[in-house]
Structure 1
Amino acid sequence: MFKPLSISLAITAAFPSFAVADTLERVVVTGSNIRVTEKEGASAVQVITAKQLKASGSASIADVLRAISANSGNSYNEQYTGSFSAGTSGLSLRGIGQKNTLILVNGKRVSSYATAQDLQETFVDLNSLPMAAVQRVEILKDGASSVYGSDAVAGVVNIILYKEFAGTELSAQLGGATGGTGQREKSATLQTGFGRLQDDGYSVVLSVDAQQRDKLQQSDVSWMRSADFRGQNGGALSWPVTNFTGGDPTRLLGGAQGPLHLTPYNTIDPDKSGTVLAYNPAPYTTLIPGIQRVHSSLRGTLRLNADTEAYAELLHSYSRADQTFAAPLSVSSSLRAWNNARQALDTIPVVLPVGHPNNSTGAPLPFTATLFDLGERQKSDKVTFYRLLAGARGNLAGWDWDASFGRSGSRLEETVNNFVNRYEFEKVLADGSYNFADQSKNSEQVRQRLRLSTLRPAASTLSTIDLSVSKDLLDLPAGPLGFAAGAQWRREKMDSQTSTAVLSGTELRPALNIINGSRDVSALFAEFNVPVAQKLSLNLAGRADHYSDFGNAFSPKAALRYQAADWLLLRGTVSRGFRAPSLPEVTNSTAVSYTTVVDKLDPISPKQARGVTLITGANAALRPERSENLNLGFVIAPSSDSSVGIDYYRIRQHGVIGTESGTTILANEARSPGKVTRDAQGRISTLYVQYGNQGERSVSGFDLDLRHRFVGKEWGSLTLNGQLSRVLRFAAPLSLGEAATEGAGTNHFGAIPKWRGVSGATWELGAWSNTLTWNYVGGYTQGKRPEEKVAGFSTIDVNLAWKATPAATVSFIVQNLGDKRPSWDSSTDFFDYTQADPRGRFASVKLNYKF
């Protein structure tokens, strides 16, 4: 028989941090502005407690959040080294992009990262947020535009920091990869607090955490260091061909030197013959940057009187990510430099003049060469993040109210080394002072003339004013009628620039992501919680937003909660939302980036991915993306120690903003020849794209949440939990005007595995606490080659904690216990880094001390 216990008590048992007395406290749960007693409401909210954060063994909040099953795909961490946002980490609920997931800290917004991910996605960098100060994380997994605004289409992550903390807690953690890569990681935290609001009338909490991790190169990983993947499905010898004259790679410019090897051409392209010069790119490829991070959080609360308290908080962080940006620069017929007057790229001739020591012919000689003696190109990203928030809350005449203002910002300084000076290159090319065929003969003076170091600055700021009120307006037969309303204003500004060397045309093969824009957003919102019957409640919410750059939008939402029995909860929500075009999508922005395409018309490497220039244009005529969300679910709690929840979601977005992929452009080159520019050899030099409202995207699936706890005096307690997400549909057009293509279980739109899950078991016995976590990512097919499968991938993490004394705890942590490799994916260089990482088994020891 089912025990007649409320769902709220079942959830309280599953999350001990919510444990309360006989009378449940009224609290605000993420997704609503109305205080309620139910811990499980009409919307599905996943809660990660401080205890669970520690049990994960992770040193960053980003690693914990990215492991949740609802993070379906299209979210990036610092493994995405080729982006303008290297070293960052974001979250993409339901796989529809980081720009559609809203990140809050203590229910309030923080600034987006200083520049955009993939040129268009503005997002909050999770790597800039603290770990030690987190009391719990609430993840709302349905649309919440009606409550929070346009960037909550897929859901909301609310990171809640400690308001009170008694005593001081220190921890230190040291670990390393066991597979011989040499990568090490260390971290430390400090958490201290004094004062209790109830007794002292004030509280202050200070938290600091720091993390340092070594850089991981491709050459450090045994199965990738040769860059020879011919034994893999669709794999190849991924060695770039270089140092040749004309358009024929077999016409060698010099011989084997430095990392160059004489290589049979057919080992790189089976349809070719002869011998070429090629090199192993592994030593020049960073898989995971080296990082240094320090986060601090200071929060104070002061009780002004029995009904009013003031609060203030300061978040600050410094992050640095260092990586090998790329191999030394290769110069060829597609070499470019930026012309700021024309707002376009100039082609720089790469031709050995008559009389040059490397030109034995009697005519100018085009050539391709890699300038190895200048050294690998390096990049370092330094980011400073802050948020200052102050406000007051209280109760006046029966109204709960909260008013605050805040200022937040993210500032980036990106430096690069060993890039190449265009004007010096032109000089040495003309006067013959640089030897391309035998670079060992070059003087250090000439090399220094060619080397170029630059600084790229970027900044993003957010100013906010928030005011909200709530009250039970009247008593209805089934309970009180709850009401909440509020007003918000914010100013978003992004100023992402490029280096002076790029603007002056000095840097060869420049990359630009210039964004300079701002907007004001004002909003009014209201919400009613209507008790229709004793066990049936209806929540109605609406939000009106005004954007200074495109106009108005209204987002309604209705949610129904039915306590069908003490052990059964039925729930559902329906809403409409929107996403405003991001600043880089609509402002007068300029983007020059580089992508890789396989061009079957390429005369040199028609079967190998090759880098080309991509010029992306903003579009001031963009319309907002509109969305419709539907969520249906139920929770069964047969006892206070068990719960089962299943929730179905469906998101339909209209007018999704994007650009055509390089693959799509090449497949339709005859129809749109202006989008492709080829050089004299017939090789692609440039692709041109512009943001547009591409069409409709439809996403659906379900989440399964299972929890059970066994309690026994002799054998301790065992807590089991599991979350499993299944993507049923992920459909969108590949190009404007085309029919929708199904992407669930494929990588048409980034890797979207149909299944993703995480399950854990925690056994606590006496001084021991042991947590075993299973992470699973399902397989998927190649979008362009459906016969090729990418296998599923799973890992097991272990955290064994021993309470040596009442104050000291020692933990032994092993991530990826089975030393599993990520699944091979031929559409990427090796594997999809949004789904896995290459570190293998990683073991750590952690010491925690309280006093």
Structure 2
Amino acid sequence: MQTNYRPLRIALALAAAFPVYSHAQEAERVEITGSHIRVSQKEGAAAVQVISAKDLRDSGKTSVAEVLRAISANSGNSYNEQYTGSFSAGTSGLSLRGIGQKNTLILVNGKRVSSYATAQNTQEVFVDLNSLPLAAVQRIEVLKDGASSVYGSDAVAGVVNIILAREFQGSELSVQAGSSVTGTGQTEQSALFQTGRGKLAEDGYSLVFSVDAQKRGKLQQSDVSWLRDADFRSQQNGTLAWVPTNYLGTDPTRWLGNAQGPLQVLPYGAITPGKSGNVLAYNPAPYKTLIPGIERVHTALSGKLKINDDTEAYADWLWGYSRADQTFSAPLTVSSSLRAWNNGTQSLETIPVILPPGNPSNPGTTPLAFTSTLFDLGPRMKTDRVTFYRALAGIKGYNAGWDWDLSAGQSASVMVETVLNFVNRYAFQQVLADGSYNFANQAQNTEEARNRLRLSTRRPADAGLSTIDFSATKELLQLPAGPLGFAGGVQWRRESMNSQTSTAVLSGTELRPAINIINGQRDVSALFAEFSVPLTKNLSANVAGRYDHYSDFGNAFSPKLAIRYQAADWLLLRGTVSRGFRAPSFPEITCSTTVSYGGVLDPRDPVSPNQPRGVTNITIANPALQPEHSDNLNLGVVIAPDQNTSIGIDYYQITQKGVIGTESADTIISNEFSVPGKVLRDEQGRITTLYRQYRNQGNREVAGFDIDIRHRQNLQQWGTLKLSGQLSYVLRFAEPLTTGAALTNGVGTNYFGSIPRLRGVSSAGWESGDWQHALIWSYTGGYRQTTAQNEHVDAWSTWDLTTTRKINATTSVSLVVQNLLNRKPSWDSSTSFFDITQGDPRGRFVSVRLNHKF
């Protein structure tokens, strides 16, 4: 039914697509993200989306991550706190153009910050947006073009530059509190404070300090009305997603004991169509955290000191603390696939799950294989605590016609993860042997026996970054059409990552261990140059090149050519051609092995072929990897029919070569018999393990266009109306399904993560007297679900409203409503219920904000 409305929805999105950003209004020459040379034009040769401090307030969002993830160019394959099964739980990243968080470079005040302490999805090294401050943000610039020629690795899809205030007069406090109004019980409180004094030009110094804090309650699946029963049989390809357990041998209808704790007796066919008999099963909803409970504090301190008329010193300090609490999973289920880590052989070894004769759960005379969930130990819980900082100091000045800047910085992300109610392998083997734990009737177990089985562990990880940057710019000479601008510089940085696992895992004590050991360090040195060449009065070119040397794999060179043509006062034509690269990340290239867990749909599963099956993924690094290279093309036009209206249309094309990755689980399972050794099954015939290794797999081709439109209308006595928005339309997103295969276009599917063809964001702002209103509509297009026949995931859209009343000259109060119409994310049977990279389960959320300046 959705297909019938697709043309109408595209037309509505196009009609409503007005850009979220406003162009820089400064007449003086300023440095725009993507170039080291200052310019005076409002529009450059590349598309830069600017999110102002007012845009941040109007959005009603309470973190940098929420603001950035709402832009239309964040089209897929990016994760936030909803990814609770991650080694990087509680984090948020950004994936411009859908090609992964590792291909989007995040800067603060134009400088790099440390990546998160460990990798997302065991592979992606990224900057955690949840570690960055909100209160001090002056604006955010999003360069939607490759920028390796300026910034080096990771800028393949674009750059996000979070610019913090360097001068601020007075103090400002904002507090916000809200809760769900849909019965989930989730609440959130936040506060922002900023103060500053001094103006560099007048006082010879400036100092700005800010702090923001946020606290949000945990949201469980059982808190959400349409998810709490885990019964999705009314949905296309949906099932009763209860979990059969507590049975003997390989037949779930041979019960181990009777209904106890959360177990209920259900027809086997209700869970797996076509099966007969009854099983013991439980509802997984109470054990699933959709959004962790969080506590965060960020501080930022910035200062500038005038040394003389031509020289100034500056320093920045960023610090953040974040805590995320979640229910990691249901209590451990022991079965024939139970294993522990053998550090000597660097492999998993199977732990027998056999009830010996004489065990209270085995009244017979022969050993019995069994499956049992240890409910009386309690759900497995996880807490991640992260500390982040960046200290940066520099000096810049003007001498002999040169503007120069020298800085040095140190940044780090330190994470400690603790878990509760995991299971001790040696205690488990002991209770099996001596019969001191009753698996069939857990109510008979003593607390002493339970405590022997319970295991708590601690996993540390940290990442570090040291930098030295020097750059200088000058107008070298006067050409007939204007000055020839030059910028050049050198950079050095040291990157490191040391992600470990717990001693309980290394000793083989923890059952069903997850491992993501990464230990690497490298030095990167770079030399870059850039020229701004005026060819005619209205035509200019920018030529740039950067040479990077990595101590672990070698060199990379990244050139760029950009053209800007002001064809008329109302018409700008622009384009860039560039090459980019991404260096292999530490988990990809260091000598490391990752043990992770995920869900697959296995059509040959003898128990539940229509439900996701939990499996172990063992992924091996590859020291022989080469960097990914990209060819980037961007062409654009900006039309300004009058001073209150502008229309921008930009086409982008990215071709990546030597993309690093592993084959998908679906591909490995489909080719199980032609490529033996990658799939391991137990005696029931159920998949237990998939084996993978990183490699330069092949090419990726991505193309599409963005439409940005803005309009401002003076309504006279009725105030001012501003319409703004953006539309991103993906034409192509193609990768090989297997190494060496032809490219498959995954646009509008979830072949390579869900990649909707269309994303649109539009807003209407109305200011009149003491009132301000902002209405924002976000639209995400549907896509085809590739692992289920004829399933189409519906489009999803939400409305957000912020209404502000100015009480007096210094105080205002706002009403903020997120998801005004209480829209549910769209059903996707390839996930548990919906794709967490596209949807949000929170429903309507209402907050009140008070702002005061003094």
With the shorter chain as reference, the TM-score category is over 0.9
Deviations 1:719-757 (A, max 9, x none): 100100000000001110111111101000001000001
Query: CA offset at residue 609 of structure 1?
Result: 1.4
The answer for the alignment partner of 2:178 in structure 1 is 175
The answer for the alignment partner of 1:676 in structure 2 is 679
After TM superposition, the structure 1 = structure 2 runs for residues 306-705 of structure 1, keeping only pairs within 5 Å, are 306-705=309-708
Q: Give me the whole-angstrom Cα distance separating, in 2, the residues matched to 1:473 and 1:582.
A: 39
Is the contact between residue 14 and residue 709 of structure 1 (CA under 8 Å) also seen in structure 2? no
Is the contact between residue 73 and residue 835 of structure 1 (CA under 8 Å) also seen in structure 2? yes
Q: Give me the whole-angstrom Cα distance separating, in 2, the residues matched to 1:213 and 1:184.
A: 6
1:54 equivalent among 54, 57, 69: 57
Confirm or deny that 1:109 pairs with 2:112: yes
2:826 equivalent among 818, 823, 847: 823
Distance 1:458 1:265, change over 3 A: same
Is the contact between residue 237 and residue 788 of structure 2 (CA under 8 Å) also seen in structure 1? no
Query: CA offset at residue 600 of structure 1?
Result: 2.3
Q: Give me the whole-angstrom Cα distance separating, in 1, the residues matched to 2:194 and 2:528.
A: 36
After TM superposition, the structure 1 = structure 2 runs for residues 747-826 of structure 1, keeping only pairs within 5 Å, are 747-785=750-788, 787-826=790-829
After TM superposition, the structure 1 = structure 2 runs for residues 224-303 of structure 1, keeping only pairs within 5 Å, are 224-303=227-306
Confirm or deny that 1:75 pairs with 2:78: yes
1:846 equivalent among 843, 846, 849: 849
2:142 equivalent among 139, 142, 151: 139
Query: CA offset at residue 342 of structure 1?
Result: 0.7
Is the contact between residue 340 and residue 351 of structure 2 (CA under 8 Å) also seen in structure 1? yes
Is the contact between residue 17 and residue 49 of structure 1 (CA under 8 Å) also seen in structure 2? no
1:733 equivalent among 736, 750, 756: 736
Name stretches of at least 5 consecutive residues in structure 2 with no aligned partner.
Answer: 1-18
Confirm or deny that 1:152 pairs with 2:158: no
Give me the identity figure in percent. Answer: 69
Query: CA offset at residue 55 of structure 1?
Result: 0.6
In the alignment, residue 640 of structure 1 is paired with which amino acid?
Answer: Q
Measured on the aligned residues, the alpha-carbon RMSD in Å equals 1.0
Is the contact between residue 29 and residue 39 of structure 1 (CA under 8 Å) also seen in structure 2? no
Deviations 1:4-50 (A, max 9, x none): xxxxxxxxx99779444xxx211100000001101210000000000
Query: CA offset at residue 539 of structure 1?
Result: 0.3
Q: Give me the whole-angstrom Cα distance separating, in 2, the residues matched to 1:532 and 1:329.
A: 69
In the alignment, residue 536 of structure 2 is paired with which amino acid?
Answer: A
The answer for the alignment partner of 1:4 in structure 2 is none
1:713 equivalent among 689, 711, 716: 716
Query: CA offset at residue 788 of structure 1?
Result: 1.0
Is the contact between residue 357 and residue 367 of structure 2 (CA under 8 Å) also seen in structure 1? yes
Deviations 1:477-530 (A, max 9, x none): 101000000101100000000000000000000000000001111000000000
Query: CA offset at residue 840 of structure 1?
Result: 0.4
Confirm or deny that 1:32 pairs with 2:35: yes
Deviations 1:319-360 (A, max 9, x none): 000000000000000000001111111100000012111112
In the alignment, residue 782 of structure 1 is paired with which amino acid?
Answer: Q
Q: Give me the whole-angstrom Cα distance separating, in 1, the residues matched to 2:257 and 2:743.
A: 51
Deviations 1:768-811 (A, max 9, x none): 11000000000000123462110100000000001101010100
Task: Specify the SS of the correspondent of 2:146.
Answer: coil
The answer for the alignment partner of 1:118 in structure 2 is 121
Confirm or deny that 1:191 pairs with 2:194: yes
Task: Specify the SS of the correspondent of 2:698.
Answer: coil
Is the contact between residue 491 and residue 519 of structure 1 (CA under 8 Å) also seen in structure 2? yes
In the alignment, residue 81 of structure 2 is paired with which amino acid?
Answer: E
Q: Give me the whole-angstrom Cα distance separating, in 2, the residues matched to 1:481 and 1:807.
A: 47
Is the contact between residue 14 and residue 641 of structure 1 (CA under 8 Å) also seen in structure 2? no
Name stretches of at least 5 consecutive residues in structure 1 with no aligned partner.
Answer: 1-12
In the alignment, residue 50 of structure 2 is paired with which amino acid?
Answer: V
Q: Give me the whole-angstrom Cα distance separating, in 2, the residues matched to 1:615 and 1:15.
A: 44
Is the contact between residue 20 and residue 762 of structure 2 (CA under 8 Å) also seen in structure 1? no
Query: CA offset at residue 361 of structure 1?
Result: 2.5
Query: CA offset at residue 210 of structure 1?
Result: 0.1
Task: Specify the SS of the correspondent of 1:498.
Answer: coil
Task: Specify the SS of the correspondent of 1:709.
Answer: strand
Q: Give me the whole-angstrom Cα distance separating, in 2, the residues matched to 1:695 and 1:279.
A: 43
Is the contact between residue 762 and residue 771 of structure 1 (CA under 8 Å) also seen in structure 2? yes
Task: Specify the SS of the correspondent of 1:256.
Answer: coil
| TM-score, L = length of structure 1 | 0.97
Confirm or deny that 1:93 pairs with 2:86: no
Task: Specify the SS of the correspondent of 2:667.
Answer: helix
Distance 1:30 1:428, change over 3 A: same
Task: Specify the SS of the correspondent of 1:694.
Answer: strand
The answer for the alignment partner of 1:6 in structure 2 is none
Is the contact between residue 408 and residue 463 of structure 1 (CA under 8 Å) also seen in structure 2? yes
In the alignment, residue 432 of structure 1 is paired with which amino acid?
Answer: G
206-215 vs 670-679, which moves further: 670-679
In the alignment, residue 829 of structure 1 is paired with which amino acid?
Answer: S
Q: Give me the whole-angstrom Cα distance separating, in 2, the residues matched to 1:159 and 1:544.
A: 25
Distance 1:204 1:811, change over 3 A: same
Distance 1:592 1:476, change over 3 A: same
Task: Specify the SS of the correspondent of 1:373.
Answer: helix
Query: CA offset at residue 277 of structure 1?
Result: 0.5
| TM-score, L = length of structure 2 | 0.97
Q: Give me the whole-angstrom Cα distance separating, in 2, the residues matched to 1:834 and 1:295.
A: 25
Q: Give me the whole-angstrom Cα distance separating, in 2, the residues matched to 1:818 and 1:718.
A: 23
Q: Give me the whole-angstrom Cα distance separating, in 2, the residues matched to 1:752 and 1:664.
A: 18
In the alignment, residue 447 of structure 2 is paired with which amino acid?
Answer: E
In the alignment, residue 683 of structure 1 is paired with which amino acid?
Answer: R
The answer for the alignment partner of 2:836 in structure 1 is 833
Task: Specify the SS of the correspondent of 2:717.
Answer: coil
2:218 equivalent among 215, 218, 228: 215
Is the contact between residue 22 and residue 49 of structure 2 (CA under 8 Å) also seen in structure 1? no
Deviations 1:365-391 (A, max 9, x none): 100000000000000000000000000
Q: Give me the whole-angstrom Cα distance separating, in 1, the residues matched to 2:252 and 2:29.
A: 73
Is the contact between residue 14 and residue 708 of structure 1 (CA under 8 Å) also seen in structure 2? no
Query: CA offset at residue 671 of structure 1?
Result: 1.1
Runs of 4+ in structure 1 displaced over 3 angstroms?
13-20
The answer for the alignment partner of 1:3 in structure 2 is none
The answer for the alignment partner of 2:747 in structure 1 is 744
